[in-house]
Copies of this chain bind each other. A is one copy, B any other.
Amino acid sequence: MRKLSIFIATSLDGYIAKPNDDLSFLKLVEKEGEDYGYAEFMANIDTIILGRKTFDYVVREIGSSHYDNGQRDVYVITKTERPRMGRTTFYTGKLTELVQRLKSGSGKNIYCDGGAEIINELLQHDMVDEFTISIIPVLVGNGTRLFKDNRPEQHLEFVSAISFEAGLTQLHYRRIG
């Protein structure tokens, strides 16, 4: 069965962004030639799921080719229909149904690139199989938390912890069962 993964960076105090979508703390660990395993991770991914706000943010900041390079299916979870663009589908149905359908299909693994709302909805339904969480050495103090309150308990299998020169530690866990 295809696995659904998250691959995300947080501050030590658990935020993925400061208020107003400020991601500047990620610069603390930017280092030329170091992608923290992202390319290797993406080599096993052929499908991306993400929220509409995250999609619009990335398209604005980086460009639409960041997700849809013609080699992957992209599902943008949204309440408002938009026409399909290349392999990018704007999906207005139930997230859990989409994930069940994708997981039972064939292909490489599925990557949920956020935002926190989508990740937490997946966690509510025990649908995340692999967690790669990179801890940035900073307490940002406030912002958008990766993990929201009031989720079900989920036990994890520890896979590895890898530390990098810039002070980032990447934790890897796997769903049990």
Interface locus among A48-56, A76-84, A103-111, A134-142 = A134-142
Question: In the docked arrangement, what's the CA distance between A18 and B157, Å?
Answer: 20
**Residues of the B chain whose Cβ atoms lie less than 8 Å from the Cβ of A173:** 12, 137
Interface residues on A, range: 35 or more
A133 sits at the interface (CB 8 A): yes
Question: Is A171 a contact partner of B12 (Cβ separation < 8 A)?
Answer: yes
Question: Is A147 a contact partner of B28 (Cβ separation < 8 A)?
Answer: no
Question: In the docked arrangement, what's the CA distance between A161 and B12, Å?
Answer: 13
Question: Is A139 a contact partner of B147 (Cβ separation < 8 A)?
Answer: yes
A169 in complex: contacting residue of B147, B167, B171, CB < 8 Å: B171
Question: Is A149 a contact partner of B142 (Cβ separation < 8 A)?
Answer: yes
Closest to A10 in B: B14
Bits for A124-163, please: 1 = Cβ < 8 Å to B, else 0. 0000000101010111111001110111111111101101
Closest to A25 in B: B153
Question: Is B157 a contact partner of A160 (Cβ separation < 8 A)?
Answer: no
Q: Hey, which bits of chain A sit against chain B, CB under 8 A?
A: 12-14, 28, 123, 131, 133, 135, 137-142, 145-147, 149-158, 160-161, 163, 167-169, 171, 173
